[in-house]
Structure 1
Amino acid sequence: MTERLPTLEEAFLEHHRAVFNLAWHCVGDRSDAEDLTQEVFLRYAERRGSLTLDLQLKAWLYRVAVNRCIDRKRRFARSLAKLARWKDQREVERAGERGFPGETTLLAREVLATFDATTRVLIVLKYVEELEYQEIAELTGISVTALKVRLHRALERVRQRRNLEEEPEHGRA
């Protein structure tokens, strides 16, 4: 049996949900995420003939999706506040619970809305998609050390925001 890369249809059936979820978390809009997902799979169709058999397809698709997310962010200079307008509230709650244990969904959305596009992608890959640091580093081209620093700072921002919101309650007692 000859090894081969999956057809476009096979790749789409196996990976479209993961690519869409990543895109949705990056751009915060279902329609934009659908467009971005299509772009990723069109890119696969265009490049399939030149890709090697040892390709880690999911990692390659994620890398293309991350790059498209960042490109789109730069090109349209979209406000990070779009994250607050997610249409599927259950997905927002799931992302908030998985991404920021102990934080409320609203707080998670508000804090995420303050991050730059790259940090937001890193947060999604680590805390929503639950990728390992090394995987994220390979996908984004950011060193593991720099990645850990950025994510640590992001979580510190979450903690600071939570503490600021809790202080008035203590002052009233």
Structure 2
Amino acid sequence: MIGFAREIVSYLQKSGASKVEAEGVVQDVFVKMLETEIIIPAEKMRAWMYRVSIRRYIDRYRRDKRYLQILKKEFFKNHSVIPFENQNYELLRSAIEELPSKEAALLELYYFQGFTVKEIARIMSYSVSKVKIQLMRSRAKLRKKLEKKGYLNGNI
């Protein structure tokens, strides 16, 4: 078993993992093996350990990549345009607040908070297609409200 572990650590390092990451993944696999009630035959143990290790490493990589994206998005922003300094901001804000709360929330998340359609779908427990459709409908309602207030294609 220890030989398999060393072999897998080496394999993961060659695949781009650091030694610490690779050892952590293998340790997780050992813990999983001890916790599982399934008995794995000796001849299949090596293949099982490889398969689980690779999947665990990929999961960690995706999670860490996602955390990095969140950090970049939340803490390392470029504040080149501040929406509050725009002269039409209050008009837009008041028109959005007149929309139903779910529609206003969608527009807020997408335009002001900068979330992607997929992220909004996860946040609101909607499908991606429902978010796209709702955004389209919300924009149409917002456009009508802005036109009623005299805002036409960027001109008041």
Pick the TM interval, shorter chain. Answer: 0.3 to 0.5
TM-score by structure 1 length?
0.37
Higher relative contact order (CA 8 A, sep 6+): 1
TM-score of the pair, normalised by structure 2: 0.41
